[in-house]
Structure formats: C-alpha cells, structure tokens
A and B are shown apart, each in its own frame.
Chain A
Amino acid sequence: MRIIAIFILLLFTTSVWGQNLEKIRLLAKQGDAEAQYQLGRMYHTGRFKLSAGTVQSVTRNSVEAIRWYREAAEQGHDDAQFWLGVMYEYGNGVPRNYRRAHMWMNIGASQGNKRAYEGRTSVAAKMNRADINNAQQMAERCVMSNYKECDQ
C-alpha cells in the first residue's frame, strides 16, 4: 500500500514538474523574458524550482544558460543582464570578456539592479581605463539601438 502511495506521489510530482518546465519552455520560445530568464537560471544552476517550492535537478549547461540569459537581457531583463555579465566575467559558457561583462552590468545597473551595480565595480577593477570607457560606449550603443548592436 505504502509503495503504491509513493509511486502515485512520484508520478504526480513528475507530471507537475514536466508541466511547469514545458510551460516555461513554451513561454520562453514565445518570447517571454521572465520565462527565458528562469530557463537561463535553470541551465546555469542545474536546479528548477517548482511552484510548490520543491526543487528538481537538471543537467547544467552553460551554453544554454547563456543563450536564454541573452534572449531575456536583450529584452531589457535586468537580472538576466547581470547574470549574462557574470558569465562573461568568468568565461562560463562563453570566452571571458571583461568589456562585455562591464557592458551588461552597466546596462543592468542603469535600471537600478543592485547586483549589477556592484558587479560593474568589481569587473572595472580588472580593466584599464581605455577598456572601461570603451565598454561604456558599447553599453550606450547597445541600449540606443534597442539591443540590436550589442555584440561589437
């Protein structure tokens, strides 16, 4: 009896989990920035939070994390901008690039994101004056082009 109960419970949680994840995936593909961010977090951390509060483990994948962070960041999601900056700062899933890291943190910070504000300071400490100023122009171009010219 107890085994059956456990089995049913397990089936139930898996189906809820699957549903949530599929829903997030669908929303992300449809362009929902928050869903894209959640998907990025999931691939980055290897954890997917169910609405019930339980956590499901998934395979970590930095490249997929970058992909979804970027999608969300280019829609103006400030937390995604911060994390995309972190990926560039540490060369996680993408070649390390301080100027790009500074650019994304700067954009996130300009929207009032506290972690991006602090992150910008710490990445700036590893850069020279020319690179910092260059990264600032990159950030401005990125935002002024409505996130079309962010990869120069």
Chain B
Amino acid sequence: MRILTAVILSLLATSVWSQGFEETLRLAEKGDASAQYSLGVMYHDGDGVPANSSAAVKWYRKAAEQGDTTAQFWLGLMYDGGDGIIQNYRRAHMWWNIARSQGDGRVRQGIERVEALMTPDDISAAQKMATLCIESNYTVCD
C-alpha cells in the first residue's frame, strides 16, 4: 500500500514537475510571468533545451518587467556576470535595487558587492534608472 502511494505520488510529481519546454513556452508567450521565469531557468540550465544565456536573459527580462522579483534577481546576476548580455554593473544594481524595493532580501549581498565595483556617480545613475523603471511601471527600464 505504501509503495503504491509512493508510485502514484511520484507519478503525479513528475507530471507536474516535467511540464515540458513546449508547454512552458506556450504559457510564457501568452504572458505568464512565472512561465517566463521558468523558461529563463530552462535556457540558463540547458534543461529540456540547449543552454542559451541570451535566451535566458530574454525571458528573465520579460518576467522581471512584470514584477517577478526572482527573475529580477537573476537578471541582475546576468548583468553582473556579463552572461548572455553585456556586463553592466549599473543595470545589475538597478534590477537588484528594484527587487529589494519589492521586499526581496536575497539581493542585499549582490548590491553590496556590486557597489564596491562602482563609483558614487555610477551608483546614483543606477538609482535613477531604477526609479524611472518603477515609476514608468516597467516600461522605461533600458
């Protein structure tokens, strides 16, 4: 009995978990932020699709611009590392600052680290960019 339960449970979990690339893509293209974020992770990890950092950035950005703070965290990381996108500390700072303002504490360390690589002028430019991005409701973030 216990084994049967385990089998059923694992089947169920697999079906939910392995919501395939195609299905995720379909939802993401319809504008589902959580699917967009998942698609970003899939491209980032090469999970169900060949790894492609540029594509990961593209989907993280779509989710980030809908206010998904986890996607904002990862987008910042991509800018910080210059992975799939031009390395740009101001933009990393901008996305992390936005995520922090939405209550995501994970970005604190990143902000501290990237600020050490920036001049006061850069930091204030990045803060201005973040404000503009938020006040424009994510329409002017670039």
Contacts and interface: CB of A to CB of B under 8 A. Distances in A.
A120 interface: yes
Contacts of A117: 82
Interface string A46-90: 000000000000000000000000000000000000000000000
A18 B13 CA distance: 64
Given A109-B82, A110-B82, A136 B119 contact: no
A1 interface: no
Contact of A133 (B82, B85, B89): B89
A8 interface: no
Interface residues of A, number: 17
A106 B119 contact: no
B84 A129 contact: no
B87 interface: yes
B84 A136 contact: no
Contacts of A139: 86-88
B88 A140 contact: yes
Question: Do most interface residues of chain A lie in helix, strand or loop, or is the interface mixed?
Answer: helix
B89 A110 contact: no
A112 interface: yes
Interface residues of B, number: 15
Interface in B107-142: 117-119, 121-122
A111 to B, nearest CB: 8
B86 A110 contact: yes
Interface of A: 106-107, 109-112, 117, 120, 129-130, 132-133, 136-137, 139-140, 143
Interface of B: 53-54, 82, 84-90, 117-119, 121-122
Given A130-B119, A130-B122, 13 more contacts: A110-B82, A110-B84, A111-B54, A112-B84, A120-B82, A129-B117, A132-B117, A133-B118, A136-B90, A137-B88, A140-B86, A140-B88, A143-B86
